Amino acid sequence: MIIGEIKRYLRDNNAIRVSRSVRDLAYRALQVRELLTGRSNGEPSVEEIVAYLAENGEPHTKEEIVNALEAIVEPVSLYDPVCGDGSSSGDSLYVMDQIRDVSDSEEAWLENIALKEALKQLSPREKNIVAMRFFKGKTQMEVAAEIGISQAQVSRLEKGALERIRKQI
């Protein structure tokens, strides 16, 4: 009973809540990994863990095992020191210093402005077609049905609008 209460406390007081079944599967996979590591003196693959569990009456997919193992990993704070002791001396390197968003580069920003300017040059009908096709993910047939023209007309208008956008950019 005491062990059960300790397990419940550890399960319920983590930063991210993971279901009991996923957590149990992850711990079982870890046990199997330890067992197989001891047998072969090498790190077993996920496929070997899946095969071992299946042989012992616990069939699971590779994805289930991988997801379960990833679910029990403690989250890392952006403010955790990677290098240094984390003191205020300024010599520490944090996780956030290692992460950067390459999609928000200066080039992408400039291209975004150029695209917006090019879209302003289109007719309202062309803007509507481009918006539905590329921003809302609709097919040419869906666009045609929505605005009441043929698919061929949508194709022709879209092609002309894209050509004008290319020339503008």
- pLDDT (tens digit per residue) in 49-100: 999 999 999 999 999 999 999 988 888 888 888 876 655 555 678 888 777 7
User: pTM of the entire structure?
Assistant: 0.45
Structure confidence by residue, pLDDT tens digits, 112-130:
888 889 999 999 999 999 9
Measured CA to CA, the distance from residue 151 to residue 166 in angstroms comes to 22
Cα 82 to Cα 25: distance, rounded to the nearest angstrom? 30
